[in-house]
């Protein structure tokens, strides 16, 4: 070993040792600068109080702790749109955007996104920021302060009411902070019609009002809570509704071939529905039953003759026949013939039958059935169908309906033109409709819908969903608006002024009707809405942007007659007014899934910001300072070995 | 051959379908509770056929025994609370009972001791006010739909005559619970040979027959509600009642 060799080896080992020590340390000047974007949630909820200041002010105050060292970072104001902003002027901004959207954030960052995003928000977003592609570091603002706040959380009103018949409007009130009672009133057409004081010390309470519409047409109303002492959020104290008031009650004939829970619940429902005038018959015994008893012992009356029923048929708007197998002989073929003629002229008939049996008017075809589950949850194929729409709730309430129990047999085939509305989970039909000339027929292959009422009771919500379903059925059978062959989907969710409302019109696939679509504000004049072909045959779509909040009537016309109309309430803004509580859990979840972190504004300080920057530098840096030493060390090691070999020293 | 096979399959399928149609059957549910809650365990078995022979009801021959906290209670809109000893309900039980009755359920209380002063009757008497503050039992009037549900009946029948009336609990205008202090089920309970288990006093077999009619009415009322008060029935029923009274 020469002296040179020892020097080379020493240098080599030194380089390698340095290389190992500096692993993970980036090159000076490289990987040090992380490109950030700071995004500010500028939705109206950020103006809500967070202690003595607003959420917006709280967020700005947190940012100011690191502002001086980060003046080159771009800033964005985010709502349902976005705009670049100057950090220095952000203090003067009032957060008033109607909502905040993750989808818009993705648009704002564009095709050349920064390495990371720092977001100041309270979590009141109208959608998520999924697939952002960069880590989201979130500073959460807003606290669950205990200031008094009363709100009308939800409202349920019948879409259709009848002049002279009481209509019920119910609402759920929520209360936060030191509030024990709420003074709540029903206003209709701008006039207070009823009011009461409701106990809300448990945090929530239901309230119901009845009112009797006096005239036909669209009627706007609202449930309003008087402000509590010290309450500052007043936007959520009012919720509006709109009801389509029609002239006549629905005269309904209900004949059941067998008493049972279904008969009892449905009959009670129809009796209690102020829009229904009910005539009902239940077959309580067969001719061979109770033979040992004389007529004077029994309370039974003779079943009406077929002729009597046929004569009365034109006076009804809806007919329900349950357990037709038992009724077939009592009613006879002459009744069936008259019923078919009545339906084809515009009547509506419902057959409730389990197992289903073939009937000339029902949607089911043939005698064959298929077997399936005996217990099942009904799956609504189209929740926006007028039969299946359950109130203004945004969630799918059909998921929460009780389990039905049946014979386990389902119709195998449907008549041409019939449409399945609901199935058991395996897709076997349970509810279907069939248009017959100007009338309609409905088939329900189950007799346990009463279970929905009891399940609602078990959950503590009462039988509201059951009641709404049967209200829908009666109105559909009676050709109330939305029940014909040409009909519009009722949009779900909150409709806001300035936002486009999509109006979907369904028409029979055969033929090309001349359609016209109109929108009209209450008290205003009709505006024509452009209409175009939809994504499938028989479907047309119109777009309308309501210029101002309030009740609007949407109608579709075929030739010169109105085929369907409904009233919708256009709200003045995004529905964050309903619940303005911050949602830190949502923010934390978004941050974690994007690879970022969540911290509350109270914990956001220089140290946190530095830590984030350091972590990002590690992530962003692609090469390390160790390479500078490790690579020459290895080269020197190889070169020294080659040199010794040539010298014959190896 | 193919046609014959198809026909056979069709017939078998049809029979199966008819047999399987049990989903909306009348279910006799009985509350299990601490104490002697079930003095007549064979009551239902002995009375299914009676209901089937008299009416178009399709009763399930199997009795369903439930506790209040059992979710199956909400699958049984008719619930019998019978036996002896006090009916003590916890706060949770009361809340379940409130929800059950408000959603459409129906209670039938039957005192197996046939006494207004029994622990059972004393506890049942207090129940309405604890369930729905301010409410109380009221005699079911003679012209109520329950007394006209299938037979024409009056007053309260049962094994003994502790109370001349059936007592009713109303929620809004719906009769949601009936209390019989006369041991109605005891009057109809039979032994394995089909003989009455207990004598009816003081009316003997005529009293037993009245009990049968009242029991049928209670069951039929629970599945038809106020049907018999509909206008279409009134002239017929009033004529019959007048005939009964003139006799």
- Same domain assignment for residues A139 and A192: no
Split at pLDDT 50, 70, 90, the class of A397 is confident
Residue B180 lies in a domain: yes
Does residue A596 sit in the same domain as residue A635? no
Q: Which of A293, A354, A457 sits opposite B23 (nearest CB)?
A: A354
A482, part of any domain: no
Number of domains in chain A: 5
Closest CA to A500 of A11, A43, A80: A80
Is B56 contained in some domain? yes
Q: Please name the residue of chain B whose CA is at the shortest distance from the CA of residue A376.
A: B23
Lowest mean pLDDT among A153-157, A412-416, A525-529, A578-582: A578-582
Note the pLDDT of residue B5. 40
Whether the pLDDT of residue A314 is over 60: the answer is: yes
Residues A465 and A510 in one domain: no
Residue after which a domain boundary falls, among A416, A446, A477: A477
Mean pLDDT of all residues in A199-203: 87
Whole-angstrom Cα Rg for chain B: 20
Which of A246, A281, A310 terminates a domain? The answer is A246
In a domain, A398, yes or no: yes
Q: Is the dihedral of CA A366, A367, A371, A375 positive or negative?
A: positive
Q: Which residue of B has its CA nearest to A277?
A: B230
For residues A435-463, give the mean pLDDT.
91
Helix/strand/coil for A270: helix
Share of chain A above pLDDT 70, in %: 91
CATH number of domain containing A72: 3.40.50.410
Instruction: Give yes or no for residue A294 having a pLDDT over 70.
Output: yes
Cα(A511)–Cα(A417) distance, integer angstroms: 14
Q: Do B103 and A462 touch (CB under 8 A)?
A: yes
Domain coverage including residue B114: 23-246
Residue A576: the pLDDT is 43
Q: Are strands B174-180 and B167-171 parallel, antiparallel or unpaired?
A: antiparallel
What is the domain extent for residue A511? 487-577
- Whether A140 and A587 have beta carbons less than 8 Å apart is answered as yes
Q: Is residue B11 part of a domain?
A: no
Q: Which residues of A touch B222 (CB under 8 A)?
A: 264
State pLDDT tens for residues A210-225: 999 888 788 889 999 9
Please give the average per-residue pLDDT across A316-330, as a whole number: 84
Inter-chain contact A264–B77, Cβ cutoff 8 Å?
yes
> Do the Cβ atoms of A176 and A146 come closer than 8 Å?
yes
Q: How far is B117 from chain A (nearest CA, A)?
A: 33
Residues of chain B contacting A463 with CB distance shorter than 8 Å: 102-104
Q: How many residues does chain B have?
A: 247
Query: What per-residue confidence (pLDDT) applies to A291?
Result: 72
Share of chain A above pLDDT 90, in %: 26
Is A101 a domain residue?
yes
pLDDT tens track for A515-553: 899 999 888 888 999 999 887 777 889 999 988 888 898
Among chain A residues, CA nearest to B240: A296
User: Are A161 and A50 contained in the same domain?
Assistant: no
- SS3 category, A328: helix
Judge if A573 and A585 occupy the same domain. Answer: no
Q: Is the pLDDT of residue A475 over 50?
A: yes
A7 and A54 in a single domain? The answer is no
Q: How confident is the model at residue A578 (pLDDT cuts 50, 70, 90)?
A: low
Count of structural domains, chain B: 1
> Are residues B172 and A463 in contact, defined by beta-carbon separation less than 8 angstroms?
no
- Cβ contact (<8 Å) for A299 and B237? yes
Say yes or no: A131 and A177 in one domain: no
Residues A441 and A319 occupy one common structural domain: yes
pLDDT tens digit string along A412-428? 999 998 999 999 999 99
The pLDDT value given to residue B6? 40
pLDDT in tens, A30-52: 555 678 899 999 988 888 878 77
**B108 in a domain, yes or no?**
yes
Q: Are A408 and B20 a contacting pair at CB < 8 A?
A: yes
Q: Is residue A299 part of a domain?
A: yes
For residue B134, what is the domain's CATH number? 3.40.50.12140
Q: Does one domain contain both A294 and A419?
A: yes
Span B165-170, average pLDDT: 97
Residue whose tokens read 């019989």: B180
User: Is residue B9 domain-resident?
Assistant: no
Strand (E) positions, A295-363?
Answer: 318-322, 348-352
Q: Which of A447, A477, A507 is the last residue of a domain?
A: A477
B59-109 tens-digit pLDDT: 999 999 999 999 999 999 999 999 999 999 999 999 999 999 999 999 999
Q: What's the mean pLDDT when you consider all of chain A?
A: 83
Among A562-571, B64-73, B107-116, the range scoring the smallest mean pLDDT is A562-571
B187 found inside a domain: yes
Nearest-angstrom CA–CA distance, A181 and A447: 42
A268 & A374 share domain? yes
- How far is A461 from chain B, CA to nearest CA, in Å? 9
**Distance (Å, rounded) from C-alpha A135 to C-alpha A595?**
5
Query: Is A4:A56 a contact under the CB 8 Å cutoff?
Result: no
d(CA B226, CA B211): 21
Residues ≥6 apart with Cβ < 8 Å to A435? A417, A441, A485, A508
What is the reported pLDDT for A509? 60
pLDDT in tens, A133-150: 888 889 998 876 666 888
Name which residue leads in pLDDT, A395 or A16. A16
- Residue with more model confidence, A32 or A226: A226
State the pLDDT confidence band at A619, using cuts at 50, 70 and 90. low
> Does A17 lie in the same domain as A73?
no
Task: For residue A298, give how far its alpha carbon lies from the nearest alpha carbon of chain B (Å).
Answer: 4
Spatial contact of A552 and A568, defined as CB atoms under 8 Å apart: yes
Per-residue pLDDT tens over the stretch B175-191: 999 999 999 999 999 98
What's the CATH number where A291 sits?
3.40.50.880
Q: Which two tokens stand for residue A631?
A: 């690579």
Domain assignment present for residue B123? The answer is: yes
Tell me what the mean pLDDT of segment A138-163 comes to. Answer: 81
Kindly state whether residues A130 and A188 are assigned to the same domain.
Answer: no
Mean pLDDT for A103-129 is 83
Within a domain: residue B39? yes
Provide mean pLDDT across the span B3-25: 44
In angstroms, the CA A138 to CA A123 distance is 10
Instruction: For residue A299, give the nearest of B22, B99, B228 by CB distance.
Output: B228
Coil, helix or strand for A376? strand
Q: Chain A contacts of B150, Cβ < 8 Å?
A: 284-285, 298-300
Do A107 and A39 touch, CB atoms closer than 8 A? no
Instruction: Please give the average per-residue pLDDT across A151-169, as a whole number.
Output: 83
pTM for the model: 0.63
Q: In the prediction, which pLDDT does A512 show?
A: 63
Cβ contact A282–B227 (<8 Å):
yes
What is the mean pLDDT of the segment spanning A158-180?
85
Nearest to B224 among A259, A448, A463 (CB): A259
Tokens of residue A103, six digits: 């989808």
First to last CA, chain A: 10
When CB atoms are compared, the residue of A299, A374, A460 closest to B99 is A460
Report the range of poorest mean pLDDT among A124-138, A618-632, B211-225.
Answer: A618-632
pLDDT exceeds 90 at position A611: no
Indicate whether A310 belongs to any domain. Answer: yes
């Amino acid at each position: 070993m020469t002296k040179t060799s020892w020097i080379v080896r020493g240098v080599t080992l030194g380089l390698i040792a340095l290389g190992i020590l500096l692993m993970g340390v980036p090159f000076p000047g490289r990987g040090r600068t992380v490109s950030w974007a700071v995004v500010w949630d500028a939705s109206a909820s950020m103006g809500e109080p967070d202690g003595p200041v607003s959420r917006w002010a709280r967020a700005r105050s947190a940012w100011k702790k690191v502002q001086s060292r980060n003046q080159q970072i771009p800033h964005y104001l985010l709502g349902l749109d976005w705009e670049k902003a100057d950090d220095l002027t952000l203090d003067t901004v009032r957060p008033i955007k109607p909502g905040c959207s993750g989808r818009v954030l993705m648009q704002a960052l564009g095709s050349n996104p920064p390495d990371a995003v720092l977001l100041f928000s309270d979590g009141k977003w109208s959608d998520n920021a999924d697939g952002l592609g960069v880590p989201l570091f979130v500073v959460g603002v807003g606290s669950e302060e205990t200031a008094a706040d009363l709100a009308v959380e939800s409202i349920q009103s019948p879409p259709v009411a009848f002049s002279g018949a009481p209509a019920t409007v119910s609402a759920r009130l929520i209360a936060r902070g030191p509030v024990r009672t709420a003074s709540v009133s029903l206003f209709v057409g701008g006039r207070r019609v009823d009011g009461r004081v409701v106990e809300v010390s448990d945090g929530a309470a239901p309230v119901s009002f009845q009112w009797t519409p006096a005239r036909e047409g669209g009627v706007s109303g609202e449930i309003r809570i008087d402000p509590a002492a010290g309450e500052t959020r007043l936007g959520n104290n009012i919720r509006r509704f709109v009801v389509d008031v029609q002239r006549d009650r629905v005269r309904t004939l209900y004949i059941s071939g067998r008493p049972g829970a279904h008969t009892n619940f449905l009959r009670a429902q129809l009796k209690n529905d102020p829009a229904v005038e009910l005539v009902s018959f239940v077959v309580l015994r067969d001719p061979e039953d109770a033979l040992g008893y004389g007529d004077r012992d029994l309370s039974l009356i003779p079943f009406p003759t077929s002729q009597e029923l046929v004569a009365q048929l034109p006076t009804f708007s809806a007919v329900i026949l349950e357990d037709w197998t038992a009724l077939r002989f009592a009613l006879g073929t002459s009744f069936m013939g008259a019923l078919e003629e009545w339906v084809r002229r515009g009547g509506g008939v419902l057959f409730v039958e389990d197992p289903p049996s073939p009937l000339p008017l029902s949607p089911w075809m043939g005698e064959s059935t298929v077997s399936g589950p005996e217990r099942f949850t009904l799956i609504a194929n189209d929740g926006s169908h007028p039969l299946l729409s359950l109130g203004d709730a945004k969630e799918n309430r059909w998921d929460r309906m009780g389990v039905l129990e049946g014979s386990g047999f389902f119709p195998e085939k449907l008549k041409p033109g019939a449409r399945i509305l609901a199935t058991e989970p395996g897709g076997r039909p349970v509810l279907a409709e069939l248009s017959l000339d100007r009338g309609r027929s409905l088939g329900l292959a189950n007799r346990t819908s009463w279970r929905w009422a009891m399940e609602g009771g078990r959950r503590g919500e009462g039988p509201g969903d059951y009641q709404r379903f049967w209200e829908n059925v009666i109105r559909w059978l009676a050709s109330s608006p939305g029940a014909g062959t040409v009909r519009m989907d009722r949009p779900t969710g909150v409709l806001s002024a300035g936002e486009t409302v999509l109006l979907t019109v369904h028409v029979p696939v055969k033929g090309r009707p001349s359609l016209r679509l109109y929108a009209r504000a209450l008290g205003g004049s009709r505006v024509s809405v452009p209409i175009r072909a939809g994504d499938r045959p028989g479907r047309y779509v119109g777009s309308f942007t309501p210029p101002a909040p309030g009740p609007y009537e949407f109608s579709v016309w075929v030739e010169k007659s109105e085929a369907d109309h409904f009233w919708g309430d256009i709200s003045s803004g995004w529905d964050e007014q309903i619940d303005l509580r911050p949602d830190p859990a949502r923010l934390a979840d978004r941050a974690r899934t994007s690879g970022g972190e969540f911290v509350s504004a109270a914990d956001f300080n220089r140290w946190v910001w530095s830590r984030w920057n350091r972590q990002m530098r590690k992530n962003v840096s692609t090469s390390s300072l160790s390479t500078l030493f490790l690579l020459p060390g290895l080269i020197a090691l190889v070169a020294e070995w080659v040199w010794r070999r040539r010298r014959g020293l190896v | 051959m193919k046609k014959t096979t198809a026909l056979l399959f069709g017939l078998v399928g049809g029979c199966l379908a008819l047999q399987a149609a049990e989903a909306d059957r009348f279910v006799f549910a009985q509350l299990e509770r601490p104490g002697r809650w079930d003095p007549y365990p064979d009551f239902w078995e002995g009375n299914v056929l009676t209901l089937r022979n008299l009416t178009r009801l399709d009763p399930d021959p199997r009795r369903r025994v439930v506790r209040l906290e059992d979710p199956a209670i909400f699958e049984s809109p008719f619930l019998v609370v019978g036996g002896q000893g006090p009916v003590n309900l916890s706060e949770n039980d009361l809340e379940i009972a409130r929800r059950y009755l408000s959603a459409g359920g129906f209670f039938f209380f039957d005192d197996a001791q046939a006494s207004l002063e029994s622990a059972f009757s004393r506890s049942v008497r207090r129940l309405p006010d604890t369930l729905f503050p301010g409410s109380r039992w009221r005699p079911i009037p003679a012209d109520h739909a329950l007394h006209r549900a299938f037979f024409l009946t009056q007053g309260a029948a049962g094994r003994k005559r502790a109370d001349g009336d059936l007592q009713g609990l109303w929620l809004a205008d719906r009769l949601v619970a009936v209390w019989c202090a006369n041991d109605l089920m005891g009057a109809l309970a039979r032994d394995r040979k089909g003989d009455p288990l207990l004598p009816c006093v003081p009316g003997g077999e005529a009293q037993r027959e009245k009990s049968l009619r009242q029991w049928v009415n209670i069951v039929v009322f629970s599945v038809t509600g106020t049907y018999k008060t509909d206008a279409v029935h009134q002239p017929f029923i009033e004529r019959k009642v007048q005939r009964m009274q003139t006799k």
